[in-house]
Chain A
Amino acid sequence: MIAVDVDACTGCALCLGSCPFGAISMVREKASVDREICTLCGACVEICPDGAISIKKADIISSEGKDVLIFAEQRGGELARVSLELLGVGRGLATDCGSTLHAFIIGENLQVVSEKLIHCGAQVVHPVDLPGLSDYRTSTYTQIACSIITRLRPGIVLFGATARGRDLAPRVAQRLNTGLTADCTELSIDPVEKILLQTRPTFGGNIMATIITPSRRPQMATVREGVMELPEPDVTLTGLVKPFAMETPLEGIHEFCEVIHEKRRAVTLGKAKIIVAGGRGVGSPQGFELLGQLADLLGGEVAGSRVAVEKQWIERERQVGQTGSAVAPDLYIACGISGSVQHRAGIKGARVVAAINTDPDAPIFHRANFGIVGDVREIIPLLIAALKS
């Protein structure tokens, strides 16, 4: 809520000019803010010489804390890879804020994994180690996460955009009345304002958006696996393991769960060394059969863009990109794929990218190390023939 202290306001009108949104007018020689236009950006608060304008936050948590906290996710006692990647970015953010990197983890028998978190950059680890906590439950995990955040008052909290993270983080953000930015591809600290800049691809085209959480705390974000760099574990790193004790009894658990491990049809895109991917330009299911032949020849996997999945030329599990898998092969061959920002978000980790496209100006060529300007229907058979001989 923005408020003008009418007794303190001298009617100097400096704020009028400062407002980028034209939300302020003078009413009986006092500043008056149109709340429907105001975005609470704070420009008027800065400029007011009399301290007459204030933004009162409806937050539960004040913005004092600067520490960075990450949710370390265990699945059956194993740490999720994305949690370690979060430690990598988290450490950088903490350094830029002049603060400490914390991690919390919920489960059973967490000694070994706590050590591992320290070796990957956590300075303080808060294990919540209780019988019955190894299986994920929304209500219990939310309660624990909120307790830890309320006690530690971190400035930033990061979650992996996994099934669990995407279930938990929004629930926590809503309970704490703060913002949450999904699927960030870049996180950094604004050098002047010291707030978290959360950048994510958005709305078709090649557009990126930087999202901030200006006044509420903590600033929360999720990050997909494979987007950030995995830190090298360093066994000489030391840190504190501080078991976290819940002060309130765990909430009545109204969900009982059992995890069923399913051998899905072996789609191992994330681990594939070579991927041959196709998009709209491949044109047909038959076209994808050709890509399959090429992949087989190279000992790789086939994948597709969202368009190819929507056209049902290839299964959904094989979609690469922001809403599909993030992959990190040695070679990624993009056939008839334009290379939208959402698609490229999934191939950040690829060592070499090659592309085949009829349009020499297709954005994919900017990501590709090399490529052919040509028709996939003509080029792929030639490639197969040449590789066979």
Chain B
Amino acid sequence: MKIIVCVKQVPDTNDVKTDVETGRIIREGVVSMVNPDDRHAMEEALRLRQKHGGSVIALSMGPMQAKNALMQMLAMGADEGYLLCDPLFAGSDTWATAYALGTCIQHLGLPDVILCGRQATDGDTAQVGPQLAEYLGIPQVTQVRAVVEHGAGFRVEAFMEEGYRVVKVAPPLLLTVSSECNQPRYPNMIQIVQAHRKKKVTVLSAADIGALAEFSGLNGSPTRVKRVFVPAPPPKGELFDGPPHEAVEAFIMKLKEYHLVPS
């Protein structure tokens, strides 16, 4: 079974800076990590490989430093890493990200299963997975919480407001994996060292995969950031900053005033 896992490197802190001019995030100088849901996607891939044999590729689009994220995936157990890195891809929205990842996957050969995280913590759109599936013309199941073998395909449980739904689906397919699906393994020192020694990350440019400029990056993105702004805060509410017991008393008076507790 051939599996590709899409992995995004995201900023680790919540205080991310944006370039107010372009509205894009400044990724340089911010501590980065693997998007949490993508670890769950990788874990699911490794479990599938364990059962069916085959290989697991970790694929990321991003700046050179995203190599670190891929190294972590190799340490976790992925066989190979590919980093799609080209200034042409800068400023991609989800449509253009799906185009770039999709073109790259066509270049590498369509696998049996593509796994994405449910959602990335920075953009927080949960759009790239389904958009990638559409670009490749394969079925998708999003927000997956369990994957079970079923004949030649899978029986997948996916989150819905009512509970969950069960979908039977055969490869090639794309799943977006949520954190309820599994507990990702942590690589030990030996695995980390081995990954650095024996496995490699291949860097690909737009030209390498035949991505066209008119569909790539900011230029190919249907959306634009028009404005980034800090909303003016409304005035503060009434504050009680006296001694604690007095503050508590005033607080309870307020609750009564609003008829929130019986007076």
Please report A residues at the B interface, Cβ cutoff 8 Å: 1, 35-36, 38-41, 58, 75-76, 80, 135-136, 138-139, 142, 162-164, 166-167, 169-171, 173-175, 177-183, 197, 202-216, 254-264, 274, 298, 316, 322-323, 330-331, 340-341, 352-355, 360, 363, 365-374, 378-379, 382-383, 386-387
Question: CB < 8 Å: which of A136, A163, A256 contacts B159?
Answer: A163
Number of residues on chain B facing chain A (CB within 8 A): 86
27 contacts between A and B (CB under 8 A): A75-B162, A76-B162, A166-B130, A171-B130, A178-B95, A180-B125, A203-B25, A205-B16, A207-B228, A210-B225, A210-B229, A212-B224, A256-B167, A257-B166, A260-B163, A261-B162, A264-B163, A316-B179, A340-B14, A341-B231, A360-B239, A369-B254, A370-B254, A372-B247, A373-B247, A374-B244, A382-B245
Task: Name the B residues within 8 Å of A212 (CB-CB).
Answer: 223-224, 226
- Residue numbers in B under 8 Å from A204 (CB-CB): 11, 13-16
In this complex, what residue of A is CB-closest to B214? Answer: A1
Chain A nearest CB, measured from B22 CB (Å): 9
**Is there an interface contact between A323 and B124, defined as CB atoms closer than 8 Å?**
yes
Asked whether, in the complex, the Cβ of B161 is within 8 Å of the Cβ of A254, the reply is no
The 4 closest A-B CB pairs, nearest first, are A262-B163, A179-B222, A179-B223, A373-B241
Bitwise interface map of B from 31 to 46 toward A, beta carbon under 8 Å scored 1, else 0: 0000000000000000
Instruction: Provide the bound-state CA to CA distance between A217 and B9, in Å.
Output: 31
The residue among A170, A331, A369 with the most chain B CB atoms within 10 A of its own CB is: A170
How many angstroms from the CA of A192 to the CA of B231 in the assembled complex? 22
Assess whether A211 is in contact with B226, with CB atoms less than 8 Å apart. yes
**Selected contact of B227 from candidates A209, A216, A261, CB within 8 Å:** A209
Q: Does B93 reach chain A (CB closer than 8 Å)?
A: yes
- B238 within 8 Å of A (CB atoms): yes
- Complex Cα gap A38–B218 (Å): 9
Chain B residue at minimal CB-CB distance from A298: B261
Write out the residue numbers on chain A whose beta carbons fall within 8 Å of the beta carbon of B162: 75-76, 259-262
B224 touches A382 (CB 8 A): no
Q: With an 8 A cutoff between CB atoms, is B122 at the interface?
A: yes
Are B165 and A258 in touch, CB under 8 angstroms?
yes
From DSSP, what is the main secondary structure of chain B's interface residues? mixed
Q: What residues of B have a CB within 8 angstroms of the CB of A164 in the complex?
A: 160
Q: How far is the CB of A388 from chain B (nearest CB, A)?
A: 11
B79 within 8 A of A: no
Are A257's CB and B163's CB within 8 A?
no
Task: Tell me whether A254 and B169 are in contact (CB under 8 A).
Answer: yes
Q: A254-B169, A261-B163 are in contact. Are A177 and B95 (CB under 8 A)?
A: yes
Partner of A369, one of B18, B122, B238: B238
> Cβ of B251 < 8 Å from any Cβ of A?
yes
A58 x B214 contact (CB < 8 A): yes
Take A162-B161, A208-B229, A259-B165 as given contacts and tell me if A179 and B95 are in contact as well, using a CB distance cutoff of 8 Å: yes
Interface of A is mostly: mixed
Tell me if B219 and A39 are in contact (CB < 8 A): yes
**Cα distance, A367 to B51, chains bound together (Å):** 52
In the complex, are the beta carbons of A374 and B241 less than 8 A apart?
yes
Nearest to B121 among chain A residues (CB) is A323
A291 to B23, CA, bound (A): 39
Task: Verify B126–A35 contact, CB threshold 8 A.
Answer: no
Bound form: Cα–Cα A164–B244 in Å: 48
Given contacts A211-B223, A216-B222, A259-B162, 12 further A-B contacts (CB under 8 A): A39-B224, A179-B95, A182-B125, A202-B228, A204-B13, A206-B233, A211-B226, A323-B124, A354-B251, A366-B237, A372-B247, A373-B240
Q: Is B2 an interface residue (CB 8 A)?
A: no
Q: A167-B140, A257-B166, A370-B254 are in contact. Are A203 and B18 (CB under 8 A)?
A: yes
Contact B237 A368 (CB under 8 A): yes
Tell me if B98 is interfacial: C-beta within 8 Å of chain A: yes
Q: Using A262-B163, A331-B258, A370-B239 as known contacts, say yes or no to A174 and B122 having CB atoms under 8 A apart.
A: no
Tell whether, in the assembled complex, residue B223 and residue A352 are in contact, meaning their CB atoms are under 8 Å apart: no
A330 surroundings in chain B (CB, below 8 A): 260
CA of A203 to CA of B254 in the docked complex: distance in angstroms?
35
Most buried by B among A39, A203, A259, A387: A203
Is B193 close to A, CB under 8 A? no
**What chain A residues lie within 8 Å of B213 (beta carbons)?**
35-36
B38 to A: closest C-beta gap in Å: 16
Closest to B130 in A: A170
Q: At the interface with chain A, which of B62-70, B131-139, B195-203? A: B131-139
User: Does B255 reach chain A (CB closer than 8 Å)?
Assistant: yes
CA distance A55 to B117 in the complex (A): 36
Measured between beta carbons, the chain A residues less than 8 angstroms from B234 are 366-367
Are A163's CB and B143's CB within 8 A? yes
